[in-house]
Structure 1
Amino acid sequence: MKIDLHNHTSLCNHAEGSVDEYVAAAVAAGIDVFGFSDHAPMDFDPKYRMKFEEMEQYHGMVMDAREKYEGKIDILFGYEVDYLEGHMDTRVLSADVDYLIGSVHFLDEWGFDNPEFIGQYEHEDIDVIWERYFEQVEAMAKSGLFDIVGHLDLIKVFKFMPKRDIVSIASPALDAVAAAGMTMEINVAGYRKPVAEAYPSPDLLRAAFERGIPVTFGSDAHTPGQIGLFRDEAEALARETGYTECVYFRNRKPYSVAL
């Protein structure tokens, strides 16, 4: 079964295409379970997310697609939520969703994965940045608020790599993800970025497998043409690591299916 749970809509202000175009692309790619998980609203960085008053519209768009394409593809509804202390909102966290993806895109108020702010890396100790990032991932997992950890090692996006062993840096976060019973996505957006590999790296995926952390898949599509790209590579990575199953969610409950 092909599952793809991390995809956006034009409501986030940095994605293109209609819901129908995304679903049509998913059907063409042979995806069985397709999830929309657009950037949830919050009172920070409004340029790159929907507004609170658009939540109802977003829900309606996805529910309409679920009904329209019933029998052709299973449509799920979720949000990608930024884990940022003081800015998460109960309107999102308590929403009626199939799943919530918890992601770290900010260190304090620095959007480290945004090309607009790449110059900040020149002023930072890369090892410290990686440590701070995974401390946030650990805190996100320990919050118990989310079902899926989004793009586990996003901090590598621009290929600023630490001198320290990456698995050792990430181990406390991976332990927290496992303890929280979270699922980890294999997110192919990294193939489209300077780092040119999936999130997480093969080494981190092996470390996750050793801890019994289940996986799901996400195109992280911001255009319909990105849906299904690098799917073969992602599945091969999972199988080579030892995974034989992947997970999807319905009403916050996980279901495992064979790869």
Structure 2
Amino acid sequence: MTIDLHNHTPRCNHAEGSIDEYIEAALAKGIYIFGFSDHAPMDFDEKYRMAFEEMSGYEEEVREAAERYKDKITLRLGYEVDYLPGHMDERVLNAEVDYFIGSVHFIDEWGFDNPEFIGEYENADLDTIWREYFEAVEAMAQSRLFDIVGHLDLIKVFNYKPRSDIRTLAEGALDAIASADMTLELNAAGWRKPVAEAYPSLDLLRMAHDRKIPITFASDAHKPEQVGYKMGQLHALARKAGYSEAADFHRRERRLLKF
């Protein structure tokens, strides 16, 4: 069973391709459970996400596709929600979806994974920003608003690494994820970035396994040709850390399936 729960649509304003093109790409890669989790609307950084008035259209479009393709593939509906206190909206958090991915893309409103703002790394203490990033992930888990942790160590995206042991920096976040019974995604997008490795690293994935944190898989595709990107390598990484099952979600209920 091949699962891929983190994928986008053009409604986020930085992806391309139709919903049907993503689905056809998933079918071609042998993916049987495929999820759309586009960037949820928010009153901050609006140009990289859908507007609130687009939510119903997005949800209807995915549900209609699920019906059209029901004999070929299982489609899931979700949102990727930025954890940014003061900006998360009940209209999103109360949506009737299969799952919410909670992601940290901002440190004090700095979009650290956006190439537009990469220059900030030159002025920052890397140990400090890595610590602040994982503190935000910890707070996100403690909020218990979300089902899946998006790209756990995204802060490594441009390959700026701290002096401190990353395992120590991430320990509190992983403890909080385990306590909240969240699922951790293995995300292939890091292989398309300067860091050139999946999120999370094998070290952090092993720590997650030690804490009995379930996993799922994510292409994080922003165009159809990225669907299923390095899926075999993701599975191999998971097995290397000790995993043999991955999570699927339906109406926010989790089930684990062999992969």
Measured against the shorter chain, the TM-score band is: over 0.9
Mapped to 1, the partners of 2:203 and 2:32 lie a distance apart of 28
Structure 1 unaligned blocks of 5 or more: none
Spell out structure 1 runs of 4+ moving beyond 2 A. none
Q: CA deviation at 1:142?
A: 0.2
Mapped to 1, the partners of 2:244 and 2:232 lie a distance apart of 14
What SS does the corresponding residue of 1:228 show, helix, strand or coil? coil
What SS does the corresponding residue of 2:113 show, helix, strand or coil? coil
**CA-to-aligned-CA distance 1:98-150 (integer Å, 9 cap, x gap):** 00000000001110000000001111000000000000000000000000000
What is residue 229 of structure 1 aligned with on the other side? 229
What is residue 91 of structure 2 aligned with on the other side? 91
What is residue 119 of structure 1 aligned with on the other side? 119
Mapped to 1, the partners of 2:163 and 2:248 lie a distance apart of 35
What SS does the corresponding residue of 1:181 show, helix, strand or coil? coil
TM-score computed with the length of structure 1 as normaliser: 1.00
TM-score computed with the length of structure 2 as normaliser: 1.00
What is residue 131 of structure 2 aligned with on the other side? 131
What SS does the corresponding residue of 2:159 show, helix, strand or coil? coil
What SS does the corresponding residue of 2:75 show, helix, strand or coil? strand
Task: Give the share of equivalent positions with the same residue, in percent.
Answer: 64
Structure 2 unaligned blocks of 5 or more: none
Q: Which amino acid aligns with 2:168?
A: S
Mapped to 2, the partners of 1:238 and 1:10 lie a distance apart of 30
Mapped to 1, the partners of 2:122 and 2:195 lie a distance apart of 17
Mapped to 2, the partners of 1:84 and 1:241 lie a distance apart of 30
Mapped to 2, the partners of 1:229 and 1:77 lie a distance apart of 20
What is residue 3 of structure 2 aligned with on the other side? 3
Q: Which amino acid aligns with 2:16?
A: E
What SS does the corresponding residue of 1:145 show, helix, strand or coil? coil
Mapped to 2, the partners of 1:40 and 1:108 lie a distance apart of 19
What SS does the corresponding residue of 2:96 show, helix, strand or coil? coil
What is residue 15 of structure 1 aligned with on the other side? 15
Matching of residues 1-259 of structure 1 within 5 Å: 1-259=1-259
Q: Which amino acid aligns with 1:116?
A: E
What SS does the corresponding residue of 1:86 show, helix, strand or coil? coil
Mapped to 2, the partners of 1:208 and 1:118 lie a distance apart of 29
Q: How many residues align?
A: 259
Q: Which amino acid aligns with 1:15?
A: A
